[in-house]
Amino acid sequence: MDPLDACQLWFGALRGHRSRSAMLLLAIAIGVFAVTLLGGLGQGARAYVLGEFSLLGRDILIVLPGRNETTGGMPPITGMAPRPLTQADATALGRLPAVRRVAPLHAGQLEVSRDNRNRETLALGTTRAFFAIRQLHLAQGRALPELEPGQAEEVCVIGSRLRRDLFGNAPALGQWLRAGDRRFRVVGVLDERGESLGMDFSEALIIPVASAEVLFDRDGLFRVFVEVRGPSYMASARRQVLAALTERHQGEEDVTLLSQDSMLAAFDGILDGLTLALAGIAAISLLVAGILIMNVTWIAVLQRTAEIGLLKAIGASSAQVRLLFLGEAALLALLGAGLGLGLGELLLWVGRLASGLPLYAPWWARLGAPALALGAALLFAWLPANHAAAQAPVQALRPQGGR
């Protein structure tokens, strides 16, 4: 039996049993589609997280007030809040040997208005160093001025979308706006930039930290960003920051330090677990498809007993009969895998257009899913194919053999 004859037999069997073939194609396609789509979603989430934290920089430490904020523990049963971080704490951290610069941060929602236009926006109270630490670039004007600790000034930098909402096509630099019960003069407009680490800078109002304290009527800082002198200083900077704040807080270590590496490690562990869980679900679907292939192939062997006997009577060997059924299963697996892979890539492409996320199926999903589908098809079709190959021609040609 030459390869052309074998292909004609395979395609003829598929056309002769259209409903059965369609059912198997759908089962395999769903499994491959699940592997491709879920792998692409996991890869996209990983790339998005890496992109977000790459903006933070590897030389940055984020100091958060309280120890229970990231450990997942119960809040204090006394109901007392953790000791707040203050501007004095931030100033002390800026004097540490391993630290290059420090940016304290207040954050809150404020109503901002100009003339008859107003909107609710994110207000950030910080210093000039924040622009360098968070890699904020200006489209117009300048950043916040250098101010002494505790010095307030009625100036602000606004995001590009906030500028359009409040000023339209009119120039914004040098103009005044109202935030809460105070007025601020616009000295800069940020370049176009979307959301990063939960902050949408295109809609942000950035004011001096002392002005924010008065505006929000609170002393405790939301965060303190600490830039160390280089990656090699990270470990020593951690120790120095913890020691300095513990000493200032009467011997109590009541802050949490986050870095890009620690956040990436935490997210990486979560994403790895999700990827394994999703791969397990997809593998189960392919296993179910393989069992379905075995059952349907077994039924096909029983229904085609006379055909098997005829093939053996005209000289077909057991290996050729076995190849006939294995080839049908392999062809179904390849066609179903192609269908599932194409559908998965199509949905990922639509997702990229709709969300802007880097949703790309990883190479192991693109290669592994079809390979797994083919392997499952051949594995589960082997037993019925072997049964067909072992039949004797005379018994297979008996009338009762086909019943």
177 and 239 share a domain? yes
Whether 238 maps to a domain, the answer reads: yes
Residue 282 covered by a domain: yes
Q: What is the pLDDT of residue 151?
A: 87
d(CA 252, CA 249): 6
pLDDT at site 129: 93
CA distances to 187, 294, 311 from 31, rounded to whole Å, are 57, 16, 34
223: helix, coil or strand? strand
User: What pLDDT is stored for residue 314 in this prediction?
Assistant: 61
- Angstrom distance (rounded) from CA 342 to CA 40: 13
Residues 199 and 227 in one domain: yes
Chosen domain end from 229, 253, 277? 253
> Same domain for 235 and 171?
yes
Tell me: do 164 and 229 sit in the same domain: yes
Measure the CA–CA gap between 219 and 211, rounded to whole angstroms: 11
Under DSSP, is residue 219 helix (H, G, I), strand (E, B) or coil? coil
Evaluate whether residue 285 is within a structural domain: yes
- Give the distance from CA 85 to its chain's centroid: 32
In this structure, are 276 and 394 located in the same domain? yes
User: In this predicted structure, what is the pLDDT of residue 78?
Assistant: 39
Co-location of 247 and 271 in the same domain:
no
- 3-state helix vs strand vs coil in the chain, percent to 5: 55, 20, 25
Question: φ and ψ at 24, to 5 degrees?
Answer: -70, -40
pLDDT of residue 53: 65
Element housing 208 (H / E): strand 204-208
Average pLDDT, the chain: 78
Nearest of 219, 268, 253, 233 to residue 63 by alpha carbon: 253
Instruction: Write out pLDDT tens, residues 143-157.
Output: 999 988 888 899 999
Same domain membership, residue 274 and residue 247: no
Q: Is residue 109 part of a domain?
A: yes
Biggest distance spanned by C-alpha atoms of the chain? 103
Question: Which residue, of 225, 253, 281, is where some domain finishes?
Answer: 253
Residues 154 and 109 in one domain: yes
Residues 141, 241 share a domain: yes
Within a domain: residue 260? no
Domain end call among 210, 232, 253: 253
The count of structural domains within the chain is 2
Within a domain: residue 305?
A: yes
In a domain, 370, yes or no: yes
C-alpha 321/C-alpha 382 separation (Å) is 12
Question: Model confidence over 306-356: pLDDT tens digits?
Answer: 565 666 566 666 677 677 767 777 777 788 888 888 988 998 899 888 877
- The answer to the question of residue 57 being in a domain is no
What is the C-alpha radius of gyration for the chain, rounded to an integer number of angstroms? Answer: 33
- Same domain membership, residue 28 and residue 87: no
Q: Among 152, 154, 186, which Cα is nearest to 170's?
A: 186
Which residues have a Cβ under 8 Å from the Cβ of 144 and sit 6 or more positions away? Answer: 126, 127, 128, 130, 131, 155, 157, 187, 188, 206, 207, 208
User: In this structure, are 198 and 317 located in the same domain?
Assistant: no
Note down pLDDT in tens along the chain; length 403 residues: 455 555 655 555 555 556 666 777 777 788 788 878 877 887 787 777 766 666 666 688 889 888 644 444 444 433 344 678 899 999 999 999 999 999 999 998 889 999 888 889 999 999 999 998 888 889 999 999 998 888 889 999 999 999 999 998 889 999 999 998 899 999 999 998 655 555 778 889 999 999 999 888 887 899 999 999 988 888 899 999 999 999 998 888 888 888 877 777 777 777 777 767 776 776 777 677 777 777 766 666 665 665 656 665 666 666 776 777 677 777 777 888 888 889 889 988 998 888 777 888 878 778 877 887 788 777 777 776 676 666 665 554 455 444 4
- Residue ranges making up the domain that contains 377: 3-52+265-402
Identify whether the C-beta of residue 83 lies closer than 8 Å to the C-beta of residue 252. Answer: yes
pTM above 0.75, yes or no: no
Asked if 172 and 297 sit in the same domain, the reply is no
